[in-house]
Structure 1
Amino acid sequence: MDALALYEKARAHEGSLAGFYHHNVRLDTDAGPVLVRTPGPAAEEMDLRLWPEAAVLEAIRPYVTQVPRLLHAHTDPEFQIHTFVEGRLVDDLVPDGKARLPEAVLDGVERFFGELLRVPDGALPPVPADWPSNGDTTAFALLLLDGVRAIRARADAAVEGLYQELRVPADPGRLLAERAAGLSARPFRLLHADIHRKNMILTERAGVVFLDWELALWGDPVYDLADHLHKTGYARADRERVRAGWERVAPADCRVGLREDAAYYAAYEEMKSAVVDTVRWGRRIALAATAAERRALAEELRGKLLRGGRHWGGGMPVRPEGIERAAVRWLGGEG
């Protein structure tokens, strides 16, 4: 396999598969299809990062079966080549969270968490010296909150104007920081930290394969469950099935304080979503082609602000028409 030739071919390719931080291009080779994964244009960082994705995939290969195989990693230029996973995105199967997912998906999620929770820490790349100590869930939660504070603080004048008009406070995590001291201590584990419908592919032979390891972390395993439940938007019965499956496969010391602390991390995810999506949805509203599209997006953003605002002490958010006007006023000149 001529990796650099595949990289150049991927760069020249006009279309790419979805990805916020990466471009993903399927290419056919004599050995079968591969996925060439290259960094996308400088997307705003909205998430914590700990390790290079290739280092994670290489480390977990003996322990986690439901992942793409890393075939090549290159640093200059930066790109990876993975096996191409044939199948259907779970988001294409049931995108809206109202209908039940196939049993094969739910079984795959349970099996995946069981494998993930048993990856030995000695197999993983080292963490920085200032990373929270193993088991210090409070420090881990505060690290997550610092990431949201950084997103909020780096707003330029236009985004700051939108934040202020939509009543997103300068420190949206203040109340959650006060609650973080009450989290139960649990041993840290490898976290995928971005498991959702568009990162899961249902295959005929391997079951569910889990993609996009660029945001993997070393931290509180209960956060990984809560993050997954938030981002995946299961129907209620499936949500309880996944939660119960996690409890079945998790070691006893990882289950301490599960219900209370999963609720804390769910609150964190709602707060973070409101901060991040004020910008993302605001830009979508400003660029929307029709009045109907603008209104639908504004109603979605209002729902996010309502849910997130509960955790920073906010009142009723701005009405949809006010959100539309604010987005166009502050972000209408972007892009």
Structure 2
Amino acid sequence: MRPEDKAPDLSGGTRRRAREIAGNQPLHGPLTGYYHETYAFVPRDGAFGTARMKLREPRADVIRFERRTFLREEALLTALAGRVRGVPEVVRADGVTLQRYIEGHTLGSRFRAGTAIPDTVVDQLLDLVRDLASIPVGALPRLARVAAGEREAEGDSHGFVERLALFAEEHVYTRNEHTFGTLFRDLGVDAHAFKRLRQRLDGIAERPFHLLHGDLHRENLILDPAGRLWAIDWELATFGDPLYDLATHLHLMRYPDRQARRVAERWTAALEHIRPGAARHWPEDLPRILGFKRAQSLFTDVIRSALDLHGGAPLRAVVPRLCAVLHAGAEPLGLASVPSPGRTATALTRWRRGYTP
């Protein structure tokens, strides 16, 4: 069983639709996922044999931490069929769009965070990188939800990361300040942190844009029984600076230092081979984009940690995780100090006492 198969049970419209399509076949889910409610099952009509499919629909009641580019994940996957290896098949059943459920194990269940992954898996990951690098802006049907006037100019890598920072400031921090502002301030984080973050990002080199997955981590990479690597959960895909996908991957994968360096070297070499200039000035710019990812995670994880605490997670589990995030994000955000575990626990406890959903 994969970690995504262990989520608590929920009920609602998505579950009813899944049950209608599955008929008397077993229904697995909801599968773990923050932005979507997902169920896996064998459709009752037998059109796909014994292959499991999954119905995946957006949750309406979640805080949006990432900017979305594409209207529908399934439309993007359909456009990528035959162009990008390891992309789940998209099918129609009973008037509903389904994705093929990839049987196998996530990398996270095989190789825990902080440990190396085999070179054979890295080789397949780099095949995916090459496929994505071959899809420049404008090469896909019009699937984007971002208006032309809100998109960065082709190759404007600084503008791309700046727009992501603006999203974090406006949609994550400011929009939720009435609920979490006191907690952020108690942890030593204020709105001026974004100004300091932008200063760190000044001068990023221009690079030609191409399609990015946006969330390549151990739970979104699956090895099937034949050892083939698949990438799932494409809802954060976008067009942008090629180094952003690499930075996101390194930040989330938590490779051992030696493998992280080797993956970065091979990844950038693969980019340059497909699209000359796609890894321009990567030794200088990758650390800064990695810093942005750590800063972005700080704002996301402060809110998620607080909500986990409200949902019943023990303080002893939340505090160490949040302290690690604060330490990682302190430098790119220019924080004067990082609160101790005791101060972090006090801040969380104060927030929980005053929180009214």
Residue of structure 2 in register with 1:83 after alignment: 100
Distance 1:258 1:73, change over 3 A: farther
Equivalence map 1:185-334=2 (5 Å): 185-205=206-226, 207-251=228-272, 252-288=276-312, 293-332=314-353, 333=355
Q: 5+ residue gaps in structure 1?
A: none
Q: CA offsets per residue over residues 80-132 of structure 1, 9 Å max, x none?
A: 401111110111011231x2212332122111111111124333244521200
2:41 alignment partner, SS class: strand
Distance 1:228 1:10, change over 3 A: farther
Contact kept? 1:283, 1:327, Cα under 8 Å: no
Equivalence map 1:83-122=2 (5 Å): 83-97=100-114, 99-122=115-138
Q: CA offsets per residue over residues 25-68 of structure 1, 9 Å max, x none?
A: 11013222111112224211000101121221122113101110
Cα RMSD over matched residues? 2.4
- Asked if 1:18 is matched to 2:32, the reply is yes
Contact kept? 1:173, 1:311, Cα under 8 Å: no
Tell me the distance in 1 between the aligned counterparts of 2:341 and 2:307: 15
1:57 alignment partner, SS class: helix
- Asked if 1:58 is matched to 2:78, the reply is yes
Tell me the distance in 1 between the aligned counterparts of 2:93 and 2:186: 45
2:99 alignment partner, SS class: strand
Contact kept? 1:104, 1:207, Cα under 8 Å: no
Residue of structure 2 in register with 1:35 after alignment: 54
Distance 1:212 1:10, change over 3 A: farther
Contact kept? 2:305, 2:322, Cα under 8 Å: yes
Displacement, 1:287? 4.2
Tell me the distance in 2 between the aligned counterparts of 1:5 and 1:288: 30
2:226 alignment partner, SS class: coil
Distance 1:103 1:73, change over 3 A: farther
The normalised TM-score by structure 2 is 0.84
Matched residues, percent identical?
Answer: 28
Contact kept? 2:29, 2:40, Cα under 8 Å: no
Q: 1:176 aligns with which of 190, 194, 197?
A: 197
Contact kept? 1:16, 1:23, Cα under 8 Å: yes
Contact kept? 2:201, 2:289, Cα under 8 Å: no
The normalised TM-score by structure 1 is 0.89
Q: What is the one-letter code of the residue matched to 2:37?
A: H
State the aligned residue count. 325
Tell me the distance in 2 between the aligned counterparts of 1:334 and 1:325: 18
Contact kept? 1:7, 1:36, Cα under 8 Å: no
Moved more, 7-16 or 121-130: 7-16
Q: 5+ residue gaps in structure 2?
A: 1-15
1:16 alignment partner, SS class: strand
Displacement, 1:312? 2.0
Distance 1:156 1:209, change over 3 A: same
Equivalence map 1:67-78=2 (5 Å): 67-72=87-92
Q: CA offsets per residue over residues 299-320 of structure 1, 9 Å max, x none?
A: 2211211221212221222221
Moved more, 297-306 or 142-151: 297-306
